[in-house]
Structure 1
Amino acid sequence: MIRTTRVRLCLAASAVAVLAGCSGTDLRRDRPYIERTTIESRPIAEPVRAITGFSDGLACMDSMLRAERVPTTLITSKQIPDPSSKAPVAAKDMIFTALSEMSRTSNAFRIVDFEIDPLKQDTVQTLTSLMLPAGQLAIPKPAVYVSGAISYVDQNVLIRNGGIGASAKNWEIGYSNDVITTAVGLELHLGDFTTRTLFPGLDSANEIAAGNKGEGIDLGGRIKNAGTQLTIGGTISQGVGPAVRTLVELGMIEVIGKWARVPYWDCLALDQSHPEFQRQLREWYGDMSDEQRVRLFATALHALGYYDGGGDGRADSALRGALARYQADHQATVSGNFNFESYERLMTNYVATDGSDHFTRIGWGDGARAGAPRGGQVALDAEAARPIAVDITLDRKDPHFALGESLLLNVSVDRTAHLYCFYEDAKGTLTQVYPSTFQPAPLLQARRSLLIPDIANPRSYTLEMTQPGHEAATCLATADDRSNELQRALGAAALEPIHAVPGTATLRQTLLELARGTHAGIGSAEWDVDAHASR
């Protein structure tokens, strides 16, 4: 018996050696397999923008700061340390992103990005260090700065273990369940840069809990002298990075809101800030078929003015192009693909909560209720598409100017559009002030501020109050370029008096007629120049 076993082992070893010798080390035989490397190395999931429950709150703060005419303030931030070394995240850059989002249309903040770290000598820092002593670079002094720290990362705060098992002579089975929680805290302060003192009361201290959960099943059996073992398990771990970003955005809304003395709490009470908001949307998204999703995208994009086709459930190039434009305007990853990220952005204003864990769809899907969407959005079943919204604000809340004062217009649109702006002075003279030779690009990105005139150009013109009376500004936004049609109709180049149109009222009619059928929008602002007002 022993000899037979040895013979069998020798034969098996010989077969393995023969097979190995036949295959050799020639990689050309494995070329099809090797060529898959560049394909398989690519991520299988689409990239998405970092979105938290307070991302819409940052946009709300931007609108609030603009409405309050908060002047542009230079700001910077210290490094945000993590004494625990358990949250290696770029918290300072998250702060800069939050400030940038709160300044898209308000221009509330300009970030001074300068620091000296001998361990991080990148190109920008090296050039800055060389040019500053030579007087070739001037770094403006910030007015305020952000300070703070990730105050703690307490792991294993709560641990819950559970399990159950059973066994018999030839089998056994077991189940286990573990839940572990982590608490993360963040402190933020705002300080005066000149004196390096922190403003009393301008602080934020928040914490958030993240959880890890694991489940496992073990199966075992025996047949005669042979045994089998099977283990099935799964783990869900909520990352520290998203937790810190959530705390940063919440904290910056609080700190900046207190500093600007605006009702920032309105931007924290949005339905989107509910922690289950995105999870509920994901569940609804998963319940839809591909055709239902395409129909919903087509309906929503039509109502919002991006798409003029029908909702027949076909994902044609026109619909994908409309979706790509929407994605670019609403800070989603631009791909033209019908994915959850874009769905979440589209539906965010069409979902309401009662303050608990109950969510309701507004005007779409099963179980929808009637009601007005948030933010003045158009109803999804509206027959007429919403025109482009044009917002014009002055650089101060008081619409009264003294002679000799200058004016600055802040213009933004809710969809990327071609923009044309006109100024009517107290004498009734109309002039096109945008685009011009000083600001030639007529295309304005959505939710981006445009200042007219360009204060960054020292050779630009000024809008100075030279005569008492009533003045106005009017801007037209169109989906396509109408520069040639406008010049033919108005008979004047930019920054030259327009004699073919007598006044703003006639100008509005002319502009709307030229842009008919393009979902064009018009915005205006008015003010008075008082000869007796003090400067």
Structure 2
Amino acid sequence: MNARRAIPLCTSLLVTALAGCSTANTRAPVVGAYQDLRRGPMLPVERTVTNFDDALRCMDGLLETYGAQASILVENIDDKTQKVPAGTTDMFITAMSQMTRRSRAIRTVAFGDDTKNLSSYMLQSNSLAAFQPELIPTYAVRGSITQFDDNLAKKTADAGATLGIASKNFFGFGASKSSSVNLIGLDLAALRTSDFSVVPGVNARNTAAVLQEGKGLDGEAAVSKLGVNFMTSFSKSDGKSVAVRNLVELSAIELIGKLNKVPYWRCLGIDSKQADVAAEIEDWHNGMGGAEKLAFFVRHLTTLGLIPDDGKPTDPARFKLAYQAYVEALGIEYSGQFSLDVLRAHFDADQAKVGELAAARMQGLAATQLGLAITVVPRDGGEQVGFRIDPTAKTHLYCFLRDEGGAIARVYPNRWQRDAAVAPGTALDLPPPGTFRITPHAQAPQVLRCYTSPDSLAGKLPRALAGPDLTPIRGVDSIDALDARFAALGAPLARIAIDFHGRGAGLVANRLEN
């Protein structure tokens, strides 16, 4: 065969063979091998690593909805394997910044080896504000890239050939394709800064499988007095640094969710009935003591506005009322306990809707639990009238009198009885002896209207209602108008009204329906 004719023919056959090599399926065997390895001694929970921008924004909303508040110090998150040179600590700080854009729920302090310049500057400027005891974060986050399994599964297919025609003229060609799986693991945990103890259950351990594929053609040809190098290649892979960033963002969501006990799994598209999530909720319930559960629900009920956020200790009666209303709004029978069923429903519920239902339910509960027993007490042979008020619970009392002409004035609290707070078992006389008088009209009815609330309404009452006692209130000319002013406060209330008229033996008093 002529040599010149043989070269194109051989080249054609060679390219055909190499094309078969380049289309060889190396991916399927590698993925299959990896799936087999997953059943071995690896981390128990595997997640598909994608993009977590939406999940971080979702967490921001959850932290705000559930009233989360915490402060953390971020320690250096290093690569213990020395195989993934990525800025893991900075990735975590960035994730925290994204996670708190609106809620401002987590105060994140970055203090590590790479803050020496800032620390030195502050010391030289004699500024120690950042090191005050009250600013010390409650928790510290530590961790590292703890695992990098290189070529956990690998498959390669290649071929090549060289044809020499003469001493100065030759032709060579080669092709290859390979697939491999690398496994990257990240572990994070939270520590209490007060004693460096590990916070039980507040951790994140996640792995990412990075599938790398490469295929290329390289060739080299030389002709007399002219050498030509020809090479074309391309590769497709998930970068290791991208995988690490996704691991960091996922782990930040999980860690902060566990630290604040918010349903972070929602942001990952996981149902609360999934076995791992259900077990975690049960762990949270069993791991919290009574005081911690109380603080947990006080925080949330305050966020919903069911408990006043006034910086004062929570009144037990108000908490009981708010908690019962919240539990019943969740659709659970109230037992007075912090049960597992309540906690599960708490995480599943739409908090905006439940908050509205609970606020309405509180009004109904207040009417039954914060009632008053009011007895009409004739004085001076019926020429004057008094009232004995017996509260059925610790509450705050506000009473108004509508006289026979329709004018309305506040009669309690008054200049002799300034404290609105009243306790059960302590009868209250109104008016107090030796002060002012309430004289019934012979025919025109008068009305005593009283309101009770577990909250102090001092500072919340409109100026007209909080003005001088025993003085007609401008702009309030009926009991209905008075009711509207109190309803606008948004506080849980019970109310009672006594209608009375006549003197002496003809004194008549009736309790009015609400």
TM-score bin (small chain): 0.3 to 0.5
Q: Which has the larger radius of gyration?
A: 2
- Larger helix proportion, structure 1 or 2? 2
**TM-score of the two chains, using structure 2 as the length reference:** 0.41
